């Protein structure tokens, strides 16, 4: 399979080099030619967007270890906390649609920088909530900042890929995963030292905002908006020509993201519960399932660009999905009675780890494919795919919970394995597309 970023023949130039440049439909893309020098600005831009992805992952991850303390401080029940936690994904799903217009209006560089700073600034608001309603509102704002920044920084990542003419999205998402691990460690340490959440979040906000603002100075300005761009979302929707409001390619990529994010959310929320309650693991062991999943995702993403360049996005996505499906399925195959033999717990942890390794490249490969669809602005396609995919974070936890009540948690966790198998069937959707040839 030809690599979409390594100086292809003129007849094989992929969609990444033919569709409109940047986030504006009116700009034109440069078709890479053999021997072209990689611009120094693109190398600096990669470092800048790497810093944004890193801070993006770290900010939200600092909040997760403080959830139990904030829950007890506000006197929330499990149900009340569950409702409040829906604020973040709801805000994210709502914001990704606004992000498409914002990037088209101001460019991914500006929206990425401002969005990441706003994300950092919103984090302390979670610590000043005094009841379930205010906590939900704070998480709604946090989720909205996450969604806005997510679309913009992925659009910037696609622009950097084009400038460098090689895959970089996997490494960028690896930076996000690495930031998440670092943020989780910082948050856990702060909780262990009994640092007040407001103090903790304020320090993280200041450090993150400063790091992003200084580190993102070299983001590419190539997708700055057209001066004739519409001035509102309504006029933008009316003025932007589209062959279809929801192209089939966008729907297929969104479905792949939905399958992956549903599984990731299920492992994040239920792996520890399964190990603790289903397999009678010790409290210190119960979290190893998600830890293994996160660590595997980080390692694979940091190496993923080379895999995509070597084998192509379709083969990488399909192979990873099969590893996730069979790995998790095999890890869940042993019944809970086998826990007494000391086999079931390691098998389950290994299954969750293989699942993380298998789905690690789904998001970067899918977002890259969306950002390079012919005839569709990058931010518009990415926002749609992200919006569909993030529905998995909304629907996944309750679907697993309701299924567990009827079939047991072991049976319910087979759903992520089945969804991973579905990704393998849909993997052809990430194949680079060519611009349609005009008829004479």
Q: Assess whether pLDDT exceeds 60 at residue 91.
A: yes
User: Whole-prediction pTM value?
Assistant: 0.73
- The CA–CA distances, whole Å, from 418 to 112, 255, 291, 293 equal 35, 14, 22, 17
| Percent of the chain scoring above 70 in pLDDT | 81
CATH of 237-434, picked from 1.20.1250.20, 3.40.50.300, 3.40.630.30, 3.40.50.720, is 1.20.1250.20
Q: What pLDDT, in 10s, does the model give residues 359-399?
A: 999 988 998 888 888 777 777 788 888 888 888 877 777 78
Q: What confidence tier does 350 reach under pLDDT thresholds 50, 70, 90?
A: very high
Give the per-residue pLDDT at 219: 82
pLDDT of 417: 93
CA proximity to 259, closest of 391, 427, 421, 419: 419
Residue 123 has pLDDT above 50, yes or no: yes
Query: Number of C-alpha atoms within 13 angstroms, CB side, residue 231?
Result: 0
d(CA 382, CA 364): 11
Query: Among residues 79, 75, 85, 412, which one has the least CA distance to residue 277?
Result: 412
Q: What is the pLDDT of residue 202?
A: 92
Minimum mean pLDDT range among 37-46, 170-179, 364-373, 425-434: 37-46
Flag whether pLDDT at 161 surpasses 90.
no
Which residues in the chain are classed under CATH 1.20.1250.20? 42-219, 237-434
Q: Quote the pLDDT of residue 222.
A: 53
CATH for 42-219, among 3.40.50.300, 2.40.30.10, 1.20.1250.20, 3.40.50.12780? 1.20.1250.20
More confident residue, 30 or 107: 107
Please determine, for residue 83, whether its predicted confidence score (pLDDT) is greater than 70.
yes
Distances (CA, A) of 201 to 190, 209, 336: 10, 12, 40
């Amino acid at each position: 399979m030809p690599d979409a970023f390594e100086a292809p023949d003129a007849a094989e130039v992929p969609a990444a080099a033919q569709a409109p440049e940047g986030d504006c439909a009116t700009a034109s893309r440069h078709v890479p030619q053999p021997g072209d020098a990689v611009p120094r600005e693109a190398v600096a831009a990669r470092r800048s967007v790497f810093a944004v992805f890193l801070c993006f992952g770290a900010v939200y991850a600092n909040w997760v270890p403080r959830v139990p303390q904030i829950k007890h401080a506000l006197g929330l029940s499990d149900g009340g906390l569950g409702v409040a936690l829906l604020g973040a994904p709801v805000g994210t799903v709502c914001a990704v649609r606004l992000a498409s217009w914002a990037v088209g209006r101001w460019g991914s560089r500006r929206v990425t920088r401002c969005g990441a700073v706003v994300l950092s600034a919103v984090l302390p608001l979670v610590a000043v909530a005094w009841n379930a309603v205010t906590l939900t509102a704070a998480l709604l704002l946090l989720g909205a900042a996450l969604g806005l920044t997510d679309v913009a920084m992925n659009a910037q990542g696609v622009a950097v890929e084009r400038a460098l003419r090689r895959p970089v999205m996997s490494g960028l998402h690896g930076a996000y995963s690495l930031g998440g691990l670092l943020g989780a460690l910082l948050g856990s340490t702060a909780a262990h030292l009994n640092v007040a959440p407001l103090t903790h979040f304020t320090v993280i906000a200041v450090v993150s905002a400063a790091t992003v603002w200084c580190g993102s100075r070299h983001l590419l300005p190539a997708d700055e908006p057209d001066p004739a761009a519409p001035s509102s979302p309504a006029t933008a929707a009316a003025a932007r020509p589209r062959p279809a409001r929801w192209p089939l390619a966008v729907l297929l990529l969104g479905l792949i993201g939905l399958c992956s994010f549903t599984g990731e959310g299920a492992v994040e929320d239920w792996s520890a519960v399964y190990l603790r309650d289903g397999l009678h693991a010790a409290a210190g062991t119960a979290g190893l399932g998600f830890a293994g999943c996160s660590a595997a995702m980080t390692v694979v993403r940091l190496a993923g660009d080379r895999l995509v360049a070597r084998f192509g996005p379709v083969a990488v996505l399909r192979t990873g999905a099969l590893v996730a499906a069979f790995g998790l399925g095999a890890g869940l195959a042993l019944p809970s009675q086998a826990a007494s033999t000391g086999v079931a717990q390691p098998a389950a942890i290994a299954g969750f780890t293989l699942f993380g390794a298998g789905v690690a490249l789904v998001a970067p490969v899918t977002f890259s494919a969306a950002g390079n669809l012919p005839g569709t602005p990058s931010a518009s396609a990415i926002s749609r795919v992200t919006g569909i995919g993030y529905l998995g974070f909304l629907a996944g936890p309750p679907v697993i919970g309701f299924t567990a009540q009827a079939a047991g948690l072991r049976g319910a966790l087979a759903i992520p394995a089945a969804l991973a198998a579905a990704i393998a069937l849909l993997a052809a959707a990430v194949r680079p597309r060519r611009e349609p040839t005009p008829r004479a």
